Amino acid sequence: MTDLVMRKRSGRAGEIGLFVDTPVFEEDFSHIKMNGEVQVKATTPRSLRQHKFAWALATKISEACDWLETKDDAMEYLLIEAKHFRRIYDPVRKIAHLRPKPTNWGAMDGADYTRLLKRMTHVAITQVCPGLEDDVLRAEIEAMIGPDIQPEQPPKRQRASQRAARKPAVGPQRGQTKGGAVPEVSEGYRVAPADSPPPEGRPEVTKHIP
């Protein structure tokens, strides 16, 4: 069994698949035979935002109800009404107690927890606060935990200009001065390099030192 972290995205034209986008798992992925059938159990990691959403919902419910004193009471009530519970039978009293199932990070993945949150939200707007619209409740919770804002990626052209701005400065090109300016040359004349020999027929000028 191989555990891989993969990303769902578009592949070839008309295809969507799971791809290894992290070099760490490329070697493990290469062990799977080409065109071979594999059994996949896809799970989604939990997020801290889901955790905050659940407790913000429980807080709103406890504030709206007189018979739920704390957010812990509201959380227990929502989990039981959302069918996320286990029965504990008391043989002495011959009754069964309902206890919420665990919802910790190891007990549920992101996909399962998302479905549970949807059931809890449905219970909140149909049983606890009948008539409350889902959009209104979510807007109030968003105001409590903050919007889910991802940093925007700059456009490709802008990123290219940013990389160009970070490149080291290039020294003066041939024919340029240190400040970068090109010396002016009168039309019809050519400036020869400093280390070139004098042209034929040109007398050398020497200084006469007395």
- Rounded Cα–Cα distance for residues 75 and 117 (Å): 11
Nearest to 58 by CA among 100, 18, 14: 100
- Rounded Cα–Cα distance for residues 146 and 83 (Å): 28
Half-sphere exposure of 89 (CA within 13 A, CB side): 2
Give tens-digit pLDDT for 153-201.
555 555 555 666 665 555 555 555 555 555 554 455 455 566 666 666 5
pTM over 0.85: no
Spans in the chain with pLDDT lower than 50: 149-152, 185-186, 189, 207
Q: What's the pLDDT score for residue 5?
A: 73
Nearest to 191 by CA among 171, 202, 179, 175: 175
Mean pLDDT of the chain: 76
Q: What's the pLDDT score for residue 143?
A: 83
Q: What's the pLDDT score for residue 146?
A: 73
Torsion of CA 153, 154, 157, 159, to 10 degrees: -90
